[in-house]
Structure 1
């Protein structure tokens, strides 16, 4: 799990999260990605962030009911008002031999904008940037 950023979300995939094929719905996974990235972005914009883009998301493996879904996120770039994060999704599941295995599912680059309570763009504090190495 080296270089994946911090674990931001860990949740069990439930039957209510499935698509008609019985796998976990991709939209549910996208919402977990968005939440994990926003949690990371709020380290630099503690008031509020809004999502402005999510780059191509390719699902490499399905997610099943009962899988433990972990979303790791790290900040990779910071502008005047924008924060870019990389979110990696990994699931833990039991394999056919009964051992727990980690399966990479997808990775996404998500960009957020810092906003104030009224939704107007808000500059990211220079001291917070420096504190986080940007």
Structure 2
């Protein structure tokens, strides 16, 4: 498991809120996955200079819980480009509201395909 966040700016940084949590105050895994998908989508759209859609999420594991009030930083790094597809490594890290210590929460690879105005695959223009 990674011991320190990537040495780059996060694609997304957000504070978790009560609406994002279950009755016990733990953040829903689906909410966290959507933040990761948004971060990866930013990278995919920027690299392909247009619309890109998620086609797969590979290897998602939850390493630690996230609580209401935690700051979540999502890092996204383009690692592979095909003719129409892009693979992006994504990591989500949490930091308690009043501390500096950070913890890896989850990581996965998101695969996107660049699409045209008819929602058909198009060549990546990266």
The TM-score normalised by the length of structure 2 is: 0.90
Shift of 1:4: 5.8
Do the aligned partners of 2:14 and 2:72 also contact (CA within 8 Å) in 1?
yes
**Higher Rg:** 1
Q: Distance in 2 between matches of 1:12 and 1:2?
A: 17
CA distance in 2, matches of 1:82, 1:22: 37
Which ranges of structure 1 fall in alignment gaps of 5 or more residues? 129-134
Alignment pair present for 1:119 and 2:122 = no
1:102 maps to 102
Q: Is residue 9 of structure 1 aligned with residue 23 of structure 2?
A: no
Name the residue aligned to 2:48.
Answer: 45
Aligned positions, number: 123
Q: 2:65 aligns with which of 62, 65, 68?
A: 62
Extract structure 1 runs of 4+ deviating beyond 2 A. 1-6
CA distance in 2, matches of 1:121, 1:86: 21
In 2, the alpha carbon distance for the partners of 1:7 and 1:31 equals: 15
Provide the rounded CA distance (Å) in 1 between the counterparts of 2:59 and 2:111.
Answer: 12
TM (normalized to structure 1)? 0.85
1:76 and 1:26, CA in 2 relative to 1: closer, same or farther beyond 3 A? same
- CA-based RMSD of the aligned residues comes to 1.6
- Secondary structure at 1:57's aligned position in 2? strand
Give the unaligned 5+ runs of structure 2. Answer: none
